[in-house]
Amino acid sequence: MNDTFFVSIVTFAYFSAAFVFLVSFIFEKKCIDTVAVVITVAGLVIQTLALIIRWIHSYQLGIGHAPLSNFYESLVFFSWSIIFIYMITRKRYGNTITGTLATFFSFLILAYASLSGKVDCRIQPLIPALQSNWLISHVISSFLAYACFAIAFGTSILYLVKRRTGKWNIAQLPDAAVLDEIMYKMISIGFVLLTLGIITGAAWADRAWGRYWGWDPKETWSLITWLIYGAFLHARLARGWKGIKMSLISIIGFLAVIFTYLGVNYILSGLHSYL
């Protein structure tokens, strides 16, 4: 069975989960939240299976490699990462509304990957530059970092909504302090993962291109992202900044993430042309 078939099931599952999370959020019903979690976990399991199937399938085609090597595969893995990060941090930092955001965001990414004609979902062989043991660790750490930043981004938007709607407050939203804490935790974890992503990328670049750092646009933008979140953490930890200012930095940081992921490849040119 083709992995793209499973991906379409997962797309539907995340959409349903987002809807159920939203219902649970509006009516503040714990049991509905549980239903949403069950759907999300089922989606995650099927998506993991789809990744494994695609991996096996690539070996059957004689061009075996981890399914992390082109735009389609990166989108699928990005959506997987968001749900994965949400599920493992849910116990401590998660709640119904961030669940809505995480599943809906993953749904959008998968829908784009499947429905946009621009994304080629075929399994392609690896060009020489990508034939490296660093591929898996570099891609996984980078996308897990992106996922943390995506959740932090969603939370900062919620924070701003919470603060701006003082008069006709959305009562169901968690306290501003809780949202602020989730944003901070997600950015801390994401920052460490991004550092790991940059380091594995540097180690790889040293072997593939003969230098660990060359100010290629992708490298530079990953550094810009790192610096923005680095500034965020210093402002928070050492200067005690909280609230709206931090939400804004988090939003700017996520714009940098998106630019690092997509903008560099579509607008600028460089060595890192395979996303």
Name the site residues for other proteins (rule: CB under 8 A). 63, 124-125, 127-129, 131-132, 188, 192, 195-196, 199, 202-204, 206-213, 215, 217, 220-221, 223-224, 227-228, 230-231, 234-235, 238-239, 256, 264, 268
Which uninterrupted H or E stretch holds 182? helix 176-208
- Please work out, in degrees rounded to the nearest 5, the angle formed at the alpha carbon of residue 115 by the alpha carbons of 114 and 118: 90
Contact 34, 94 (CB under 8 A): no
- What is d(CA 62, CA 136) in angstroms, rounded to the nearest whole number? 19
Determine the longest span between alpha carbons in the chain, in angstroms: 62
- 124-163 as b/e: b if 16+ CB within 10 A: bebeeebeeebbebbbbbbbbbbbbbbbbbbbbbbbbebe
